[in-house]
Structure 1
Amino acid sequence: MKTLLFYICVICTFSSFSQDTLAELLDKHNKNSIPYISIEELTENNTEPILLDARELEEYNVSHLKNAIHVGFNKFDLKKTTKQLPNKQQFIVIYCSLGIRSEDIAEKLKKEGYTNVYNLYGGIFEWKNNDLPLFNLKDEETHNVHVFSKIWSTWLTKGIKIYE
């Protein structure tokens, strides 16, 4: 009986620390208050979106999506961001590493009346995992991706992981 109880405890412990899929991870951390847009939908869309990067500046400086505007997370300035986005109906896609921080920023824009805001499913990690280009501050293509932390880095399967 003690052996059975031990195995049940071990299984429960490991299952509480791991996420089997990206969908499970996002379900755990997000409220699904903002619609996701997939990498495929974004790349196949004929409309050019405004891309907002909700990661910290050191992450953005390593690499970002082409023409993305850095808005950050910890120091996000709603007033400054809305000044850059006068059309509240424009197509806006917000991303971060995986799609968790970007939901929070997207919610703030939605509360301000923006009606066409999407959260990039899987964030910059999924972008790179799909072999799509990233750019550094010199607007040169790069394979470097700031992974935020060791824990989140497991979701990046392609590219060069940068931790600092």
Structure 2
Amino acid sequence: MRLTLYSDYAMRVLLHLAAYPDRSCSIADIAQRYAISHNHLMKVLAALAKAGYVTSARGRQGGYRLARDPSLINVGAVVRHTESGTEVVDCRNCVLCGACGLSSALNEAMSAFFAVLDQYSLSDVANRSGALSRLIAPLEPGGSPTSGE
């Protein structure tokens, strides 16, 4: 299965926020960091906020943060939330529908895919050694990572 860009961006945002639990991150910073459209990122963050994964604050010190501890955010649940459909093929409109076992095999494969993702929390996939934080250090005004973090 190939995840949509929407799911990819949602996971990047969550990993980014997990790397900086003590500060709010702006849409502009995240969009610049990952070269994501500001408008697209707004949609992703709005959906993550509605689902309770992130919180937002307005104003000078505003931005986005994780709404709960990363150990309580399940990767499988996030992917299920961000993927609109998890069907690998559309068997309903196939002339072979009901005569082949492909749909059963694909459903079993999808169940296995999500069973693996369900074993991981955001905390598990976020690199706790500090490498993730260094890799995505906050950007300086010129667009390069700051050296102090």
**Considering the TM-score relative to the shorter chain, is it more than 0.5?**
no
Higher relative contact order (CA 8 A, sep 6+): 2
| TM-score for both structures, normalised by structure 2 | 0.26
**Which structure is higher in helix share?**
2
